[in-house]
Amino acid sequence: ELKVEQNPLFLSMQEGKNYTIYCNYSTTSDRLYWYRQDPGKSLESLFVLLSNGAVKQEGRLMASLDTKARLSTLHITAAVHDLSATYFCAVAYSGYALNFGKGTSLLVTP
Amino acid sequence: DGGITQSPKYLFRKEGQNVTLSCEQNLNHDAMYWYRQDPGQGLRLIYYSQIVNDFQKGDIAEGYSVSREKKESFPLTVTSAQKNPTAFYLCASSILINGGEQFFGPGTRLTVL
């Protein structure tokens, strides 16, 4: 059974600070996705990571994938309030179905 | 506009009733998925379909049923056998190449009265 673990589950950080969210998974997969969810809303795709060593950046967010360590990271640089949301990592299994982590609820404060 | 639509946005069900959630996509995606989200939790896969007239159970299929008669449509029925159906239901679709990124609909919030 593929297990996906995110940490931390809750994160409160000040504007301007940096932080990293971690996503570990238990079995081999070469496809990992990061999504953002605002309260009461659906999921928005952030990054698609398809190979070992993949790194993608969009604005203040950067995601990376290490398939050998079964680890992905989502790094936040100089956080701003607009980044407050819940972030999910999801790992592909059984074709294209996804197994999601529990999410990291991020609150950026002044 | 291309996208995924779900209806209704909110749904209230009495115990013992079956209800059907609609999911339609005009992205020409082959695959469609249904997920359930409970408060403070990640998404759990209910059913998925990679081709018309074929679908597979996910991790929590008990008490749910689906059909895939058209490429664009993947309705989910929540039956009376589902003991705790109150949740947020999300439909997604994807192509089956180039990473298979899933795109999500706006969701249906189901409440059992």
Tell whether the model's pLDDT for residue B1 goes beyond 70. Answer: no
Give the number of A-B residue pairs with CB atoms closer than 8 Å.
Answer: 61
Q: How many CA atoms lie within 13 A of A55 on its CB side?
A: 3
Burial of residue B36 (CB within 10 Å: 0-12, 13-18, 19+) is buried
Bridge partners (DSSP) listed for residue B88: B37, B109
Chain A, nearest residue to B35 by Cα: A98
In this prediction, what percent of chain B has a pLDDT beyond 90? 78
Tell whether the model's pLDDT for residue A29 goes beyond 70. Answer: yes
User: Tell me: the pLDDT tens digits for B33-85?
Assistant: 999 999 888 899 999 999 999 999 999 999 999 999 999 999 999 998 888 99
Chain B, nearest residue to A34 by Cα: B101
Residue A81 phi/psi, 5° resolution? -55, -35
**Cβ pair A96:B90 closer than 8 A:** no
Distance CA B21, CA B3 (A): 17
Quick one: pLDDT band at residue B98, thresholds 50, 70, 90? low
Taking only residues 78 to 97 of chain A, the set having a beta carbon closer than 8 angstroms to any beta carbon of chain B reads 88, 90, 92, 94-97
Instruction: Report how far apart, in Å, the C-alpha atoms of A75 and of each of A19, A56, A79, A104, B61 are.
Output: 6, 10, 10, 12, 35
Q: Provide the token pair at B5.
A: 């639509």
Tell whether the model's pLDDT for residue B99 goes beyond 90. Answer: no
DSSP labels, chain A: ---EEEE-SEEEEETT--EEEEEEESS--S-EEEEEE-TTS-EEEEEEE-STT-EEEETTEEEEEETTTTEEEEEE-S--GGG-EEEEEEEEETTTEEEE---EEEEEE-
Comparing CB atoms, the residue among A43, A96, A100 nearest residue B100 is: A96
Chain A, nearest residue to B47 by Cα: A97
